[in-house]
A and B are shown apart, each in its own frame.
Chain A
Amino acid sequence: DSGVTQTPKHLITATGQRVTLRCSPRSGDLSVYWYQQSLDQGLQFLIQYYNGEERAKGNILERFSAQQFPDLHSELNLSSLELGDSALYFCASSIRQGGLTGELFFGEGSRLTVL
């Protein structure tokens, strides 16, 4: 158990819909990262938050957005869903104290299926 909690574990929805994925980081971790894993694209970094502020942005579509709340949990919002958005979405967290600790702790993922 990594200590990172993601909900829901599975989600099935239709094209054009909007979903929200939730992540609770490990206790004490200030950074939250979102990754998308699909068969054709592999693991793609989407976005990182540190203590409530956006820290780094990767290959995140404009239809997707995220935020980190004061209690440090994070939500990834996916809107106008397309078939190609079907993937496993991972959240990871880490301690960041001005230097590299290196390790990301991953949740078990939220599997999104768009029909």
Chain B
Amino acid sequence: AQSVTQLDSQVPVFEEAPVELRCNYSSSVSVYLFWYVQYPNQGLQLLLKYLSGSTLVKGINGFEAEFNKSQTSFHLRKPSVHISDTAEYFCAVTEGGGADGLTFGKGTHLIIQP
């Protein structure tokens, strides 16, 4: 069975500093990986996804993530954060052939400090 581990429940970062949110997954088969963002009092919105091809994936709002199969990781990065990036970030995985019930990590709360 697939699972996702987000190693940090909370990450405080100063504005304009770089940030990395960590995500590791476990699966016995090939996977598709996603990062979603949840702003306060809103639903989840897709930031980026890895399905195949280049291991470096670029998403919205300046975020990018790198798929590392040997380390079973899919860390999310942004070179310079803004106060508006304050939100909950979720890593998710699905195995093989479809978006059948994405398995989500517990989320990382990104706190931007002025």
Contact = CB atoms under 8 A, between A and B. Distances in A.
Q: Do A and B bind each other?
A: yes
Interface of A: 2, 4, 31, 33, 35, 42-43, 45, 48, 55-56, 58, 90, 92, 94, 96, 99-104, 106-109
B88 to A, nearest CB: 10
Describe B's contact surface by its main secondary structure.
loop
Contacts of B106: 42-43
Nearest to B49: A102
B113 interface: no
A2 B43 contact: yes
Interface stretch (B20-28, B62-70, B97-105): B97-105
A54 B75 CA distance: 33
B101 A33 contact: yes
Given A2-B45, A107-B43, A109-B43, A43 B90 contact: yes
Given A108-B43, A109-B43, A31 B99 contact: yes
Instruction: Determine the interface band of chain B, counting residues with CB < 8 A from chain A.
Output: 20 to 34
B74 interface: no
Contacts of B107: 42-43
Contact of B46 (A56, A104, A108): A104
Interface in B10-48: 32, 34, 36, 41-46
Contacts of B103: 45
Contacts of B44: 90, 92, 104, 106
